[in-house]
Amino acid sequence: MNIELSDEAAEYGRQAMRAIEAAGGDELVRDAERDPGGRAGRVTPVLGELGAWELDPRGDPADLEAAAALCRAAGHWAVPYPVAERLARPARPDTDALAVVSGAAPKAAAAGLDLRWTAVTLDGLRGTATALPPDDGPRASAFVTGLDVRPLDEDGAGDVPLGLVLPCWTLLGTLDRAIALTRSHVLAREQFGKPLAGQQGVQFQLTDAEVERSGVEALAKYALWSVQAGLPEALDDALALRLAALEAADAVLRTAHLLHGAIGFCDESALSWLSRYSRPIRRLPLGLSATRDRLTREIGRRGLTGLFPGGDR
């Protein structure tokens, strides 16, 4: 079992980071909020130049790792586009993106995009989906809108693990950036004539946040390998990753906002945008409590295989 990304995938992720920064970086999400209709036009050319739509995450293990690295880069910059959902799309010519949905009122961050969606429930029921007009603007909704789903007589169980794992890589990128922004902030700000970073309490909080983030990174690599290897427990691993990522997001963003103070909620701060536009991933298809409940019901008494199975894998 090797859960580390290949050198090629890691380099692809670094190139994606630089390309997104050159295209506007933090300004991409700010511009998308001001002009929702233009968000695809700002983002898709960059992704096209990176060869994102030529990746085959379902059919090529190397492409799956590259897709994960790209999702992480997108999360770092809060790219206002469903990158993970497009990369997770089923291998069929009539769909552009995959949304894992739950409940009687399925939703996705699909507002204002001319995409053909496939929706799949956690039980593997697949359908075609059309984005409905949003009830609120992007500042309140983060582009989340309802989906009109038409069921298909197809088994979509194989869609679910990948559809859960790639968005968690996006969220991992968000946590990377939140930690980096907070570290820079406490190094630059002074209190009583000394940098905030010199205070032991601040150091403890940042350390705890980094432990949460690094734990998600390890689980994200393992869950990606589980999907890559086609393990029967891939859905369990995907749900376990999602649960850990949601718990870590709560802890990391809470610490980041606490140490930033009021400025962390202002538009002048990149943290504010990261926090706001991570909500769709953190709430859909299931929030923290519902994800925990679903994982508990999924694994029953057998538990998780996890990173240290004790067997021969």
Residue 260 lies in a domain: yes
Task: Please answer whether residues 241 and 164 qualify as being in contact, where contact means their C-beta atoms are separated by less than 8 angstroms.
Answer: yes
The yes-or-no verdict on residue 179 having pLDDT over 80 is yes
Residue 110 lies in a domain: no
| pLDDT at res. 222 | 96
The yes-or-no verdict on residue 259 having pLDDT over 80 is yes
The yes-or-no verdict on residue 27 having pLDDT over 90 is yes
Residue 210 lies in a domain: yes
Give the domain extent around 280: 160-299
Burial class (CB in 10 A: 0-12, 13-18, 19+), 76: buried
| pLDDT at res. 309 | 56
What is the spatial order of strands in the sheet that 145-155 belongs to? Answer: 97-101, 117-121, 125-131, 145-155, 107-108
Residue 121 lies in a domain: no
Residue 122 lies in a domain: no
Q: Is the dihedral of CA 110, 56, 232, 279 positive or negative?
A: negative
Task: Scan for tokens 């997770």, then name that residue.
Answer: 88
Could you tell me the CATH number of the domain that includes residue 258? 1.20.140.10
Residue 167 lies in a domain: yes
pLDDT digits (tens, 9 = 90+) for 67-122: 999 999 999 999 999 999 999 999 888 999 999 999 889 999 999 999 999 999 99
265-280 mean pLDDT = 96
The yes-or-no verdict on residue 142 having pLDDT over 70 is yes
DSSP single-letter state for residue 77? T
Residue 172 lies in a domain: yes
Residue 245 lies in a domain: yes
Query: Domain tally for the chain?
Result: 1
Q: Is the dihedral of CA 238, 244, 247, 249 positive or negative?
A: negative
Q: What percentage of the chain exceeds 90 in pLDDT?
A: 86
Q: How confident is the model at residue 295 (pLDDT cuts 50, 70, 90)?
A: very high
The yes-or-no verdict on residue 201 having pLDDT over 50 is yes
Instruction: Please tell me the distance from the alpha carbon of residue 308 to that of residue 293, in angstroms, as a whole number.
Output: 23
What are the φ and ψ backbone dihedral angles of 90, each rounded to 5 degrees?
A: -65, 155
Task: Scan for tokens 């897709």, then name that residue.
Answer: 67
| pLDDT at res. 311 | 41
